[in-house]
Amino acid sequence: MRRISSSVLLRTLSAARGGAVSFSVPNRFLQVALYGSSSGGARAHRRWWFLGPFTGASLGVAGALATAVATTSAYQEVFAKEPPPPEALPNDVVLFQYEACPFCNKVKAYLDYYDIPYKVVEVNPLSKKEIKWSEYKKVPILMVDGEQLNDSSAIIDILGEKIMSKEKAGEDDEETKWRRWVDNHLVHVLSPNIYRNTSEALESFDYITSNGNFSFTEKITVKYAGAAAMYFVSKNLKKKYNITDERAALYEAAETWVDALNGREFLGGSKPNLADLAVFGVLRPIRYLRAGKDMVEHTRIGDWYSRMESVVGESARVKA
């Protein structure tokens, strides 16, 4: 069984307590209550005897947990994925990427959501030796059964037509509008935030070098030289995109997206559409950096992001 959404659980417990959660439940208790059962016999009898004074509270919590399980089951059913038909799946999909690249993560969010298996080739951003064979020198590059696809949005459109048999939405469509917003606005807000100061720049490059294709010497060089360089680059990006307060710009972008949802679970309604996947994809590399944590803490985007994490699920990446 998939992990129960903490927001669903807390809302259910809150309802059981009249709208207020005023106690904490240890993780071990939740694991036993939700995933396991105790053996019977005398020991079980003694256990319930010990809990006697707290029977009312225990049964109340147990009932709330049972409701949470049922609620989560319904939650997962509503947000169940729609994988492509097996006969439509390509035989060989290879993504050439940088692990922290927002555009690469946009493509991965699409592949993960639709359970399209793919291999990853991590490109060294210094030498780019892994894509020397290609005239196109940017990432992502997606090879699909030997055919080269470039540019994240174009890649997703082509995959949609070939694998999902979906026509590209019109230029005035809501989905198209917000996909453009991701490429033309949201991504430009990210760099000034993750390189906002020296400590955050080092945090970001620690993530980049830990997940990227670097030798030991390159890791050390890139982490410190890269962090210093990107700190100053981020200042130029602020000027280029007229950003005066990078955190305020990030929070405003997050709130703009939540407003666009207009009370819906996803922009696509009961299921994510390509705009949902695009926003989720570009935010995924920063979610657990300082900038991403601040964004979730200070805006309303957290619930939507948690829903997306749940529905996108495990990576479809095939380990080499």
pLDDT digits over 170-198, tens only? 888 999 999 999 999 999 999 999 999 99
Residue pair 175/271 in contact by the 8 Å Cβ criterion: no
Residue pair 258/283 in contact by the 8 Å Cβ criterion: no
Nearest to 68 by CA among 12, 6, 23: 12
Q: Is 103 a catalytic residue?
A: yes
Return the structure tokens found at 41: 């016999």
pLDDT of residue 224: 87
The chain-wide mean pLDDT, for the chain, equals 80
SS3 230: helix
Would you mind telling me the total number of residues written for the chain in this entry? 320
Q: Is 118 a catalytic residue?
A: no
Catalytic one of 103, 113, 118, 214? 103
Q: What is the pLDDT of residues 258-280, one digit of tens each?
A: 999 999 999 999 999 999 999 99
Angstrom CA distances, 211 to 60, 196, 223, 224, stand at: 45, 21, 12, 16
pLDDT of residue 79: 61
Ranges of residues in the chain with a pLDDT under 70 are: 1-80, 320
Q: Is 104 a catalytic residue?
A: yes
CB atoms under 10 Å from CB of 48, counted, come to: 12
Catalytic one of 101, 110, 231, 266? 101
Catalytic one of 104, 114, 231, 280? 104
Nearest to 70 by CA among 15, 9, 7, 16: 9
Return the structure tokens found at 1: 């069984």
pLDDT of residue 71: 45
pLDDT of residue 168: 80
pLDDT of residue 156: 97
Catalytic one of 75, 79, 98, 280? 98
Percent of the chain whose pLDDT exceeds 90? 56
Compute φ and ψ for 122, nearest 5 degrees.
Answer: -80, 125
Residue pair 159/165 in contact by the 8 Å Cβ criterion: no
Q: Is 98 a catalytic residue?
A: yes
Give the whole-angstrom CA distance, residue 4 versus residue 289. Answer: 24
